[in-house]
């Protein structure tokens, strides 16, 4: 089969590799029909994730058809169209029983790591992929749900919802600020409306992303490069600050921005993946009764979100802005890597 293979920092190739095979009785093989690229893949290519070694097939999002099942698999059969979750879970360990699939103790190659595709085992940017723990790690796609919509349930939609909206404790009537209007930030905006947020303020440097935010559920936008950005946010909250600030970038300045605009008694939900230390001004924040949360998506809400997508309550397909064939995967990476210039949200790669 063909696959996108990592060969060290800055090196990747679409090349012939052996087909995957069933290894454990809980495995399935999926013929990948649609996949996409995540910002994490770009981090890997920069050399930021040393656990990813030469020869690893990248990718952790996908939709496809089951072609082979292990003898212990009971929830799916050959021919089923499924979403491949970015998190795989045994369903039996103590963390899985808590719904914390991200910390499953039965992972391949490491304990307590939920994300293994394109990281510790071969991933989904390939014509075929082996999926461990299939009964808890793939989801049947209902009729009428497009691949463009379904693939967004692999990662970004549950990430924005679980780590941004749920961890941030968004309630009816809340004012929510989302710092960073990339795909995950937009997912947080879209799903904050499920909990009745009264106002959703999008902050970003990119005018195109801010325009996009208004179509994903934001009620207001603020250019965070403006000198008075903080005053503009506070003016929308009677000077009090927002109830929930969601960080969706992963750099120190955006986390600090969230702590500056949240009101006393509010919540800061960190969704972004940080690669550098962040200074926490506890000398100023201790008195504010803040809740600060962070985490890795567990995808425990994927079945619920899938029902909403199937009933057209969430327009997940709107994240797909660019489409490529499998033989154009290198071009897809180039487009996604230049998102500010290409105006890409999610690039979809189809068989």
What's the confidence (pLDDT) of residue 213? 98
Are 137 and 147 contacting, i.e. CB atoms less than 8 angstroms apart?
Answer: no
Q: Which two tokens stand for residue 271?
A: 């969704």
Beta bridge partners of 348: 36, 323
172 and 186 inside one domain: yes
238 and 304 inside one domain: no
pLDDT in tens, the chain (351 residues): 999 999 999 999 999 999 999 999 999 999 999 999 998 899 899 888 889 999 999 999 999 999 999 999 999 999 999 999 999 999 999 999 999 999 998 876 666 688 899 999 999 999 999 999 999 999 999 999 999 999 999 999 999 999 999 999 999 999 999 999 999 999 999 999 999 999 999 999 999 999 999 999 999 999 999 999 999 999 999 899 999 999 999 999 999 999 999 999 999 999 998 878 999 999 999 999 999 999 999 999 999 999 999 999 999 999 999 999 999 999 999 999 999 899 999 999 999
73 and 147 inside one domain: yes
246 and 181 inside one domain: yes
Contacts of 179 by beta carbon, 8 Å cutoff, 6+ apart: 185, 203, 204, 224, 245, 246, 247, 248, 249, 254, 257, 258
**E-assigned strands of 59-198?**
62-69, 81-84, 128-131, 138-140, 175-179
Q: How many domains does the chain have?
A: 2
90 and 15 inside one domain: yes
What's the confidence (pLDDT) of residue 108? 67
Q: What backbone phi and psi angles, to 5 degrees, belong to 168?
A: -75, -5
Beta bridge partners of 220: 201
Are 183 and 346 contacting, i.e. CB atoms less than 8 angstroms apart?
Answer: yes
What's the distance, Cα to Cα, between the start and end of the chain in Å?
12
282 and 240 inside one domain: yes
Q: Which two tokens stand for residue 340?
A: 């500010």
117 and 26 inside one domain: yes
136 and 23 inside one domain: yes
252 and 318 inside one domain: no
Q: Which two tokens stand for residue 10?
A: 């800055």
142 and 201 inside one domain: no
Contacts of 235 by beta carbon, 8 Å cutoff, 6+ apart: none
CATH number at residue 65: 3.90.180.10
Residue 129: name the closest of 274, 32, 257 by CA. 32
What's the confidence (pLDDT) of residue 43? 86
Question: Final residue of a domain: which of 253, 273, 294?
Answer: 294
92 and 128 inside one domain: yes
Report the 10 Å Cβ neighbour count for 22: 15
What's the confidence (pLDDT) of residue 53? 94
Report the 10 Å Cβ neighbour count for 10: 9
290 and 310 inside one domain: no
Question: Final residue of a domain: which of 277, 294, 311?
Answer: 294
Question: Final residue of a domain: which of 247, 268, 294?
Answer: 294
What range defines the domain where residue 135 resides?
2-155+299-350
Q: What does pTM read for this prediction? A: 0.94
Number of residues that make up the chain:
351
């Amino acid at each position: 089969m063909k696959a996108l293979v990592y060969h060290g920092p800055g090196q990747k190739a679409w090349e012939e590799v052996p087909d995957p095979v069933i290894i454990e009785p809980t495995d399935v093989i999926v013929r990948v029909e649609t996949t996409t690229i995540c910002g994490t893949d770009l981090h890997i290519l920069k050399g930021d994730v040393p656990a990813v070694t030469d020869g690893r097939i990248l990718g952790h999002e996908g939709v496809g058809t089951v072609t082979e099942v292990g003898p212990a698999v009971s929830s799916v059969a050959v021919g089923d169209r499924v979403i491949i979750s970015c998190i795989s879970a045994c369903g039996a360990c103590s963390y899985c029983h808590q719904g914390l699939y991200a910390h499953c103790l039965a992972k391949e190659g490491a304990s307590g790591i939920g994300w293994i595709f394109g990281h510790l085992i071969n991933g989904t940017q390939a014509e075929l992929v082996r999926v461990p723990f299939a009964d808890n790690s793939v989801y049947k796609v209902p009729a009428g749900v497009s691949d463009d919509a379904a693939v967004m349930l692999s990662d970004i939609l549950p990430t924005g919802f679980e780590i941004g909206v749920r961890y941030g404790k968004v309630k009816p009537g809340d004012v929510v600020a989302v710092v960073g209007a990339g795909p995950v930030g937009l997912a947080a905006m879209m799903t904050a409306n499920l909990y009745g947020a009264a106002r959703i303020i999008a902050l970003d440097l990119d005018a195109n992303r801010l325009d996009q935010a208004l179509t994903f559920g934001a009620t207001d936008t603020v250019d965070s490069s403006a000198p008075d950005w903080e005053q503009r946010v506070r003016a929308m909250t009677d000077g009090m600050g927002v109830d929930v600030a969601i960080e969706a970038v992963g750099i120190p300045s955006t986390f600090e921005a969230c702590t500056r605009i949240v009101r006393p008694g509010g919540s800061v939900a960190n969704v972004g993946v940080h690669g550098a230390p962040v200074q926490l001004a506890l000398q100023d924040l201790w008195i504010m009764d803040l809740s600060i949360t962070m985490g890795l998506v567990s995808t425990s809400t994927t079945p619920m979100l899938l029902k909403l997508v199937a009933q057209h309550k969430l327009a997940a397909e709107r994240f797909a802005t660019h489409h490529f064939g499998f033989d154009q995967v290198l071009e897809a990476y180039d487009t996604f890597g230049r998102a500010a210039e290409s105006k890409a949200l999610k690039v979809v790669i189809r068989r």
